[in-house]
């Protein structure tokens, strides 16, 4: 049995929450029509990313009962979807880079990004959340955001906690890379999936914003970390794959090896890993 | 300033220690002629890999003053090289899957593989070594072997310990993969290099052995984890790159981010990472 997963690599416009919601709704409706069961949107899908300052971010931040989550929850109910999407979260004077999980029953949970990228450190508050885990009809969904995925400790932790699919809203800035190479962020995501036998759905974005272009590196993998669907770089568009999430339960991959059982935690404790 | 690193992706024949040494010597001499300063050979470069049983492995195992290390040390002295190479190590009734570092001064250190792959568990003894670190004229060399590299904890640990170049002798068995995809072992190695800003030199092997073919996935990366030289799959041949090892000392990569400093060890301690 497989689960149809779609990543909507939509263009976003900074500050245009109404326009971004219209774009997201169209992409989600198209995914639903195509049979999607789990839909992932980018990081900060409601607001865009390149904030001029904290004041602009605050003006775009929403609470958990705000319009973005409400709209996503309505779509989730209408089409029986599980939706994972990023938004700037206002909470008691703080603003977090967050991602919500909604399904037909409404809001299931929110994750606040633990590893902040570059100038996010100047505008967002840093959170102390562990990776989010939500049990759904399709399996256990793990959630983290963008730069989080580049910390193998974080990916390992969510896999050890039993995630059957890691959903990661991202905004991967376009950085130089050698011709013919996949962006390193994507390589790291593929490695994390394979090293944990945990399928992964990364949803990136498109649309130049205040001079910043984006990789457009959305990818959905199988449990071996090989891409099942991969987006065209720097281009809006959805990708879809039918993923066998039950594969994530099989950490053993030959008679003698198990991606988690083979860890030498006895030795890791003698290293500086947690110092 | 750069350091010339060569990985000798040589063909090996099981049990033919004399022939394997002749092959290795030729490859090392060619590398030296080409200006190599650090040379990496495959895992179990003296013996081959596909042992029929423990008895055959024992018959091919050597001590640290055996012919393989002696030959490599002589070459290191003759050409002023640092050589990293794998061999089956006999030690007090145990046999380890080991790798030696030799330079002009002789044997510098030996690492015993901590994560054993598949049937290695039936013939080798499991070691409790931490990754090896050897200070050389070129910088601090870290050493681990094959499947070890697929444990991000291990790669992180050697990077945290200050390795400027991770040298990894491997024997990557050829497994099915989607058309056009790099083997997942190689993807994991590239990710590990980039996530730690630690250049990496993986030396794989060639030559079908008792029906087992090999990926031939040798690769040398820069500190960003992008390949500087990459071998032709399933084909004997050396690869060489001039690597700026000083880059490994710069873990910060923008005004706000540092691959090691950004780790949230406060949060990792609340996960199952070391359970």
- pLDDT tens, position by position, A150-204: 999 999 999 999 999 999 999 999 999 999 999 999 999 999 999 999 999 999 9
Inform me whether the pLDDT recorded for A215 exceeds 90: yes
Q: Give the number of C-alpha atoms closer than 13 A to the C-alpha of residue B221, restricted to the C-beta side.
A: 30
Q: Do residues B10 and B31 lie in contact, with contact meaning Cβ atoms separated by under 8 Å?
A: no
Q: Please tell me the least confidently modeled range out of A18-22, B139-143, B206-210.
A: B206-210
Active site residue A94: no
The whole-number pLDDT of residue A121 equals: 97
- H/E segment holding residue A189: helix A184-196
Chain A residue with CA closest to B273: the answer is A157
Q: Which of residues 39-58 of A touch B (CB under 8 A)?
A: none
The whole-number pLDDT of residue A207 equals: 87
Quote the minimal CA–CA distance from A229 to chain B in Å. 12
Q: Give the number of C-alpha atoms closer than 13 A to the C-alpha of residue B133, restricted to the C-beta side.
A: 14
Across the interface, of B130, B154, B187, the residue whose CB is closest to A191 is B187
pLDDT tens-place string over residues A159-170? 999 999 999 999
Q: What is the average pLDDT across B173-202? A: 98
The whole-number pLDDT of residue B256 equals: 97
Q: What is the average pLDDT across A63-88? A: 98
pLDDT tens-place string over residues A91-117? 999 999 999 999 999 999 999 999 999
pLDDT tens-place string over residues B136-187? 999 999 999 999 999 999 999 999 999 999 999 999 999 999 999 999 999 9
| Chain B CB contacts of A160 below 8 Å | 271-273, 275
Q: Give the number of C-alpha atoms closer than 13 A to the C-alpha of residue A154, restricted to the C-beta side.
A: 30
Quote the minimal CA–CA distance from A142 to chain B in Å. 14
Across the interface, of B150, B178, B272, the residue whose CB is closest to A226 is B178
| Chain A CB contacts of B200 below 8 Å | none
Q: How many CB pairs under 8 A join A and B?
A: 166
DSSP string, B221-241: E-TTS-EEEEPPTT--EEEEE
Q: Is the CB of residue A150 less than 8 Å away from at least one CB of chain B?
A: yes
A152-160 helix and A184-196 helix, angle to the nearest 10 degrees: 30
Inform me whether the pLDDT recorded for B231 exceeds 90: yes
Q: How sure is the predictor about A11, in pLDDT bands with cuts at 50, 70 and 90?
A: very high
Q: How sure is the predictor about B17, in pLDDT bands with cuts at 50, 70 and 90?
A: very high
pLDDT tens-place string over residues A220-249? 999 999 999 999 999 999 999 999 999 999
Across the interface, of B118, B130, B272, the residue whose CB is closest to A160 is B272
For residue B261, give both structure tokens.
Answer: 């400093």
Inform me whether the pLDDT recorded for B8 exceeds 90: yes
What is the 3-state composition of chain A as percent helix, strand, coil, each rounded to the nearest 5?
30, 30, 45
Q: What is the average pLDDT across A137-144? A: 97
The whole-number pLDDT of residue B207 equals: 87
Q: What is the average pLDDT across B224-246? A: 98
Q: CA–CA separation, A95 vs B49, rounded Å?
A: 55
Q: What is the mean pLDDT of chain A?
A: 98
Q: What is the average pLDDT across A51-65? A: 98
Q: Is the CB of residue A267 less than 8 Å away from at least one CB of chain B?
A: yes
All domains in chain B, ordered by first residue: 3-268 (3.60.110.10)
Quote the minimal CA–CA distance from B23 to chain A in Å. 32
| Chain A CB contacts of B224 below 8 Å | 184
Interface confidence, given as ipTM, is 0.97
| Chain B CB contacts of A187 below 8 Å | 187, 190-191, 194, 225
The whole-number pLDDT of residue B21 equals: 98
Kindly compute the dihedral angle of the four CA atoms of residues B136, B137, B140, B141, in this order, to the nearest 10 degrees: -60
Q: Which of residues 155-214 of B touch A (CB under 8 A)?
A: 156-157, 160-161, 177-178, 181, 184, 187-188, 190-192, 194-195
Helix, coil or strand: residue A75:
helix
Active site residue B203: no
- Which is the catalytic residue, given B43, B89, B120, B185? B43
Q: Pick from B46, B8, B3: which is nearest to B239 by CA?
A: B8
Q: Which of residues 85-104 of A touch B (CB under 8 A)?
A: none
> Nearest 5 degrees, angle CA A22-CA A121-CA A67?
25
Q: CA–CA separation, B56 vs B82, rounded Å?
A: 30
| Chain A CB contacts of B257 below 8 Å | 117-118, 147
Percentage of the residues of chain A whose pLDDT score is greater than 70:
100
- Which is the catalytic residue, given A62, A113, A120, A209? A113
- H/E segment holding residue B120: helix B120-123
Q: Do residues A184 and A172 lie in contact, with contact meaning Cβ atoms separated by under 8 Å?
A: no
For residue A25, give both structure tokens.
Answer: 């709704």
Across the interface, of B117, B156, B275, the residue whose CB is closest to A265 is B275
Q: What is the mean pLDDT of chain B?
A: 98
Kindly compute the dihedral angle of the four CA atoms of residues A195, A200, A203, A204, in this order, to the nearest 10 degrees: 10
Q: Do residues B177 and B237 lie in contact, with contact meaning Cβ atoms separated by under 8 Å?
A: no
Identify the residue among A264, A265, A266, A270 best suited for mutation to test binding to B, counting B beta carbons within 10 A and taking the highest.
A264
B160:A272 CB<8 A: yes
Q: Which of residues 130-149 of B touch A (CB under 8 A)?
A: 130, 147
Active site residue B7: no
Across the interface, of B152, B225, B266, the residue whose CB is closest to A195 is B152
């Amino acid at each position: 049995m497989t689960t149809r997963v779609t990543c909507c690599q939509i263009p976003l416009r900074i500050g245009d929450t109404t326009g971004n919601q219209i774009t997201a709704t169209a992409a989600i409706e198209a995914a639903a029509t195509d049979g999607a069961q789990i839909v992932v949107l980018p990081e900060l899908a409601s607001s865009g990313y390149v904030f001029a300052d904290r004041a602009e971010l605050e003006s775009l931040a929403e609470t958990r009962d705000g319009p973005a989550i409400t709209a996503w929850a309505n779509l989730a109910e209408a089409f029986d979807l599980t939706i994972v999407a990023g938004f700037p979260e206002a909470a008691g004077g703080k603003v977090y880079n967050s991602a919500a999980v909604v399904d037909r029953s409404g809001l299931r949970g929110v994750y606040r990004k633990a590893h902040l990228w570059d100038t996010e450190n100047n505008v967002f508050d840093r959170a102390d959340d562990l990776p989010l885990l939500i049990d759904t009809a399709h399996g256990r969904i793990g959630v983290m955001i963008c730069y989080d995925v580049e910390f193998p400790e974080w990916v390992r932790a969510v896999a050890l906690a039993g995630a059957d699919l890691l959903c990661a809203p991202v905004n991967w800035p376009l950085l130089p890379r050698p011709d013919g190479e996949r962006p390193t962020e994507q390589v790291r995501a593929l490695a994390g999936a394979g090293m944990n036998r945990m399928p992964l759905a990364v949803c990136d974005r498109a649309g130049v914003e205040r001079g910043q272009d984006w990789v457009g590196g959305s990818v959905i993998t199988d449990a071996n970390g090989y891409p099942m669907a991969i987006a065209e770089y720097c281009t809006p568009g959805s990708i879809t794959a039918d993923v066998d999430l039950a594969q994530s339960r099989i950490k053993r991959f030959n008679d003698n090896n198990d991606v988690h059982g083979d860890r030498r935690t006895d030795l890791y404790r003698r290293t500086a890993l947690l110092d």
